[in-house]
Amino acid sequence: MKETPKARSRIMRAVKARDTAPELRVRRLAHRMGYRFRLYRKDLPGSPDLVFPKLRKVIHVHGCFWHGHDCARGARVPKRNRAYWLRKIARNRARDRTNMKGLRLAGWESLVIWECKIRDERDLRKRLNEFLAK
């Protein structure tokens, strides 16, 4: 069934910026591992998804499409309004680089967890532990 532009627009507007399924999965696992964190600290560049103040570390959970990951899902570009989406994703990536640099200059370590990389809980647990246990 062919999707109308109006329907696609409604779908894209419904995509949440916070409390997404991938983010919730990472948060639940980090909490089960015994780590405590704050959410979306507005005083930090980019308002990171998970903030570990005592460790001075942050985690960003990025959606592959929205942040232009190099996986199959991130490489997709909608057929309609292609130029808009390419510019949008390029702006997101530029903003991400700026925010990461700001965090680094402020003395914070960052980890980006891509949506496509959270399916394997054992691997995700290992990555979280390697990042947070140092």
Q: What is the CATH number of the domain that holds 32?
A: 3.40.960.10
* 16 close to 24: Cβ distance less than 8 angstroms: no
Q: What is the pLDDT of residues 25-79, one digit of tens each?
A: 999 999 999 999 999 999 999 999 999 999 999 999 999 998 999 998 888 888 8
CA distance 100 to 6: 35
Q: Residue 112: inside a domain, yes or no?
A: yes
pLDDT of res. 96 = 97
Please say whether the dihedral angle defined by the alpha carbons of residues 12, 13, 17 and 18, taken in this order, is positive or negative.
Answer: negative
Q: Residue 6: inside a domain, yes or no?
A: no
Q: Residue 5: inside a domain, yes or no?
A: no
Q: Residue 3: inside a domain, yes or no?
A: no
The b-or-e profile of 61-75 (16+ CB within 10 A means b, else e) is: bbbbbbbbbeeeebe
* 117 close to 123: Cβ distance less than 8 angstroms: yes
CA distance 40 to 7: 30
Give the mean pLDDT of 90-94: 96
Q: What is the pLDDT of residues 9-23, one digit of tens each?
A: 666 666 656 779 999
Q: What is the pLDDT of residues 101-125, one digit of tens each?
A: 999 999 999 999 999 999 999 999 9
pLDDT of res. 105 = 98
Range of the domain at 55: 16-132
- Count: domains in the chain: 1
